[in-house]
């Protein structure tokens, strides 16, 4: 299967700039600027742009709808939480946006998060129950997409009577479903409903073990189509190794840690996400440079993706090949600033990886 590269959008409170965190964004997330980033990702050759979710982000559905008319082909990998909406409503939103954009929607299903953010939404649910809800949610969504006639469903979390949608699924194929999570329950839900199982970029050998485990689980579940695997990571590409290292470390050292430290520390402390815990532990081993290319300093000023591939185009391409060898075919990334790093990666790194398949 071919290798796919995806970028991420800065549609959140921090906006964009040359630091991870600032009290006042260097580049606020205006429509004009977000459009520039999305077009740059499109021109660089990225297949999707991840539109994030959370109380610190703009609403991903409205953001995607606003940016679709100013782009031509890039898909919007919309992150959303199944616990916050009806499966029928989400299926309708996906169908509508897919219909109006000519099939440019992908889905990033976010079951986990921090309790801090979930409580802001009034959704305080234990870890495993969130994934159980996602399981039911996606079963309803898929039935709405696949079945002719009204859908009836009665489960633990959802009760649907005579479910029908306009617009219907139509001629567009169902969107790719990206499901993240390193816990056992997350892996089971991914095997049942996902197209791509996403991990944060821990060591390649650990990812390889995860891939092996999920593939074996897929056989047990009798899954017919092959499961794909993705990683979420960061990039900083420069002409020399020394220049890239200085740039990566400056992104962290010049960040306004005080503006975010309290929220970051509280969110990490209260997170029940296995994925977040793995990245945090990786960053806490002492040396923030795991090897010549992998830098973990970002995780000290923000939660989420914390593994950054740093170096020359050849170094970063080589690191990506290690993950390809581990079984990864989808890469979701960004750097700071989102605009320039997308352009650099598309111009300098992507040509080194053209034609690769796993």
Share of the chain above pLDDT 90, in %: 73
Rounded distance between C-alpha atoms, residue 228 and residue 206, angstroms: 16
- pLDDT (tens digit, 9 = 90+) per residue, 92-105? 999 999 999 999 99
- Could you write out the DSSP letters of every residue in 261-330? HHHHHHHHHHB--HHHHHHHHHHTSS-SBSSSSEE-GGGGT-SS---EEEE-HHHHHHHHHHHHHTT--E
Q: Is residue 280 part of a domain?
A: no
**How would residue 121 be classed by pLDDT, with cut points 50, 70 and 90?**
confident
In the block, tokens 């009204």 appear at 150
Find out whether the peptide bond into 282 is cis, omega within 30 degrees of 0.
no
**How would residue 287 be classed by pLDDT, with cut points 50, 70 and 90?**
confident
pLDDT at 290 over 80: yes
Q: Is residue 248 part of a domain?
A: no
pLDDT at 315 over 70: yes
Q: Residue 200 belongs to what H/E stretch?
A: strand 196-200
Beta pairing class for 308-311 and 294-295: antiparallel
Rounded distance between C-alpha atoms, residue 122 and residue 119, angstroms: 5
Q: Is residue 194 part of a domain?
A: yes
Enter the pTM of the model: 0.93
| Percentage helix, strand, coil for the chain under 3-state DSSP, each rounded to 5 | 45, 20, 35
Q: Is residue 342 part of a domain?
A: yes
- Give me the pLDDT at residue 172, please: 79
- Give me the pLDDT at residue 358, please: 47
Helix, strand or coil, per DSSP, at residue 141: helix
The CATH number of whichever domain residue 157 belongs to comes to 3.20.20.30
Between 60-64, 152-156, 286-290, the lowest mean confidence (pLDDT) is in: 286-290
Rounded distance between C-alpha atoms, residue 80 and residue 78, angstroms: 6
Q: Is residue 297 part of a domain?
A: no
Q: How long, in residues, is the chain?
A: 358
- pLDDT (tens digit, 9 = 90+) per residue, 235-257? 999 999 999 999 999 999 888 76
- Classify the C-alpha dihedral 338-340-345-351 as positive or negative: positive
**How would residue 265 be classed by pLDDT, with cut points 50, 70 and 90?**
very low
Q: Is residue 59 part of a domain?
A: yes
**How would residue 276 be classed by pLDDT, with cut points 50, 70 and 90?**
low
- pLDDT (tens digit, 9 = 90+) per residue, 145-168? 998 889 999 999 999 999 999 999
**Contact between residue 166 and residue 223 where contact means Cβ atoms under 8 Å apart:** no
Rounded distance between C-alpha atoms, residue 354 and residue 25, angstroms: 35
Q: Is residue 307 part of a domain?
A: no
**How would residue 138 be classed by pLDDT, with cut points 50, 70 and 90?**
very high
Using alpha carbons only, give the angle 198, 194, 52 rounded to the nearest 5 degrees.
Answer: 50
Q: Is residue 75 part of a domain?
A: yes
Domain enclosing residue 327, as ranges: 4-232+312-353
Task: Give the number of other CB atoms < 10 A from CB of residue 115.
Answer: 19
Structurally, the chain folds into a number of domains equal to 1
Residues with Cβ within 8 Å of residue 116, at least 6 apart in sequence: 263, 266, 267, 270
**Contact between residue 1 and residue 304 where contact means Cβ atoms under 8 Å apart:** no
Beta pairing class for 196-200 and 228-237: parallel
Helix, strand or coil, per DSSP, at residue 108: strand
What is the chain's mean pLDDT, rounded? 90
């Amino acid at each position: 299967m071919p290798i796919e590269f995806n970028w991420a959008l800065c549609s959140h409170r921090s906006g964009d700039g040359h630091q991870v965190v600032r009290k006042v964004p260097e580049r606020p997330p205006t429509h004009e600027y977000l459009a520039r980033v999305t077009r740059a990702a499109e021109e660089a050759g990225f297949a999707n742009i991840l539109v994030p979710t959370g109380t610190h982000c703009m609403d991903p559905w409205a953001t995607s709808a606003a940016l679709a008319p100013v782009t031509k082909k890039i898909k919007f990998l919309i992150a959303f939480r199944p616990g916050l909406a009806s499966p029928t409503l989400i299926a309708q939103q996906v169908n509508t946006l897919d219909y109006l954009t000519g099939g440019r929607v992908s889905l990033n299903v976010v079951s986990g998060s921090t309790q801090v953010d979930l409580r802001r939404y009034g959704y305080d649910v234990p870890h495993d129950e969130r994934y159980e809800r996602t399981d039911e949610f996606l079963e309803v969504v898929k039935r709405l997409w696949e079945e002719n006639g009204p859908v009836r469903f009665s489960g633990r979390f959802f009760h649907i009577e005579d479910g029908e949608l306009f617009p219907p699924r139509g001629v567009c194929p169902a969107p790719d479903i990206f499901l993240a999570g390193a816990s056992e329950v997350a892996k089971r839900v991914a095997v049942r409903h996902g197209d791509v199982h996403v991990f944060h970029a821990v060591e390649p050998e650990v990812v390889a073990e995860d891939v092996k485990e999920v593939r074996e689980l897929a056989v047990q579940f009798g899954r017919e189509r092959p499961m794909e695997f993705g990683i979420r990571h960061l990039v900083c590409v420069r002409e020399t190794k020394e220049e890239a290292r200085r740039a990566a470390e400056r992104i962290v050292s010049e960040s306004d840690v005080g503006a975010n430290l309290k929220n970051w520390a509280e969110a990490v402390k209260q997170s029940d996400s296995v994925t977040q815990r793995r990245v945090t532990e990786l960053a806490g081993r002492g040396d923030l440079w795991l090897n010549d290319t992998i830098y973990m300093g970002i995780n000290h000023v923000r939660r989420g993706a914390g593994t950054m591939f740093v170096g020359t185009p050849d170094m970063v391409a080589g690191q990506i090949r290690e993950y390809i060898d581990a079984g990864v075919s989808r890469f979701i990334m960004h750097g700071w600033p989102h605009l320039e790093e997308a352009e650099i990666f598309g111009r300098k790194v992507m040509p080194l990886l053209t034609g690769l398949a796993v």
